[in-house]
Each structure stands twice: as structure tokens, then as C-alpha cells.
Amino acid sequence: MTLWYLARAAGVVALVAFTASTVLGALSPGRNRSLKSADIDRRYLVQMAHRSAAITGLVALAAHVVLLVMDSYVNVSIGGALIPYTAGYRPLALALGTIAVYLFTLVAVSGAARGRLATSVRAARAWRSIHVMAYLGWVAAMAHGVLAGTDTGARWTTAVYLACGGAVAVAVAVRLRSRARSAADPLTRARTLERSRS
């Protein structure tokens, strides 16, 4: 049972870390050439915290998967963990977890390669379209936790799920509001028009 408890704990740590990374990514200030030195420092710190939370999430996620495969309580095979809908234990819930693993891995690889991928406007757009899949990964991870978690329904897990969901919802709302304000700004519209011509 020790592996089972560790696997569950690693899953919760992964969810909380990915929630923190998603929130920090959503709240990360966009590029602005007129930023002051203090704003640049803040942006750098937010990005470092975002990446650190993502790495913590990936490590906890790897531990979660390895411990589940090693444990005999739920009997998840390597194939069941890596191929969606093949697990004998709650196949839909585990498929969502597998999909989350692949999405978070793709986003992490794209994040690590950002400097090489974002060399032009077109490449930067492609990078953003890949990186935004972190939101889908987070939703899949939340659904996996709710549907597969044997602790679902306990007060502490309900509190964790509500806190994670609320944090991401607020961060996304702030991001969307900020984008709407920025899009309405005449200077931003002019820069966007200039970029689209180049």
C-alpha cells in the first residue's frame, strides 16, 4: 500500500504544480518593448517561477506514473499507462491522465525550445499554438484526478480541486481581460497591423 499512497501523493503534487505553472503562464506579462527595468525583472521572475513549477509538475508526474505501474493495487501496466483507453482500471479516467502526460510533455519540449522556435513572427505564432495546449493538459489532468482519484469526494481533495480550478479560472479571466484591453489600445492595433504586413 505504500506505493499506492506515494502514487496518489505524487499525483496531487503534480496537479498543484501544473496549476501553479498554468496560473503563472496565464498571468505572465506579454512582450512589450517599452517595459521599465522593474517590469523586466518581474517578468523574468514570473517566467522562472512558471518554468520551475512546470519542472516540478513533470517530476511529480513521472513519479506518479512509475509508482502506479510498480504498484499492484490498481494493476496498471506500462501499456495501460502509455496508450489511452487500454488500462483495465477506469479506462476513460486513465486515458485522460495519459493524454495530459503527452500534452504536458509536448508543451515542456516546446517551452525548452522556445528560443529556437520563436525566431520569426510566424514561428512565434506556431510556438504559441503549441504552448497553449497546456490549458488542455491541465483540464485533462483535473478530469483525470476527479474521475480516477480514489480520494475524490473527500473534503481535502474537494478543496484542492476547487482551489486549483478557481486559480486557473481567475488567471485565465485576467489574461483575457488584459488582452481585450490591449487589443482596444490604438498603439497595439497599429503594431499588430505593422506585424501582419511583414
Q: Residue range 128-155: average pLDDT?
A: 92
Average pLDDT, the chain: 85
Pure H helices in 71-120: 78-82, 91-112, 114-117
pLDDT at 143 (0 to 100): 96
pLDDT band with cut points at 50, 70 and 90 for residue 57? very high
Residue 75 structural domain? 2-197
pLDDT at 114 (0 to 100): 77
Distance between CA atoms of residues 100 and 60, nearest Å: 13
Question: CATH code at 166?
Answer: 1.20.120
The tens digit of pLDDT for each residue in 79-135 reads 888 888 888 778 899 999 999 999 999 999 988 887 776 677 787 788 888 889 999
The tens digit of pLDDT for each residue in 38-53 reads 667 788 888 899 999 9
**Percentage of the chain with pLDDT > 90?**
48
Question: Quick check: 137 and 107 in contact, CB under 8 A?
Answer: yes
Contacts 24+ apart (CB under 8 A), 159-166: 160/12, 160/15, 160/16, 164/15, 164/16, 164/19
Contacts 24+ apart (CB under 8 A), 163-166: 164/15, 164/16, 164/19
Instruction: Report the number of distinct structural domains present in the chain.
Output: 1
Question: Quick check: 138 and 19 in contact, CB under 8 A?
Answer: yes
pLDDT at 194 (0 to 100): 57
Distance between CA atoms of residues 195 and 131, nearest Å: 21
Task: Please list, residue by residue across 11-25, b when 16 or more beta carbons sit within 10 angstroms of its beta carbon and e when fewer do.
Answer: bbbbbbbbbbbbbbb
Select the more confidently predicted residue: 49 or 190: 49
pLDDT at 35 (0 to 100): 57
pLDDT band with cut points at 50, 70 and 90 for residue 162? very high
Select the more confidently predicted residue: 114 or 61: 61
Grid-cell match 523574468, residue found: 44
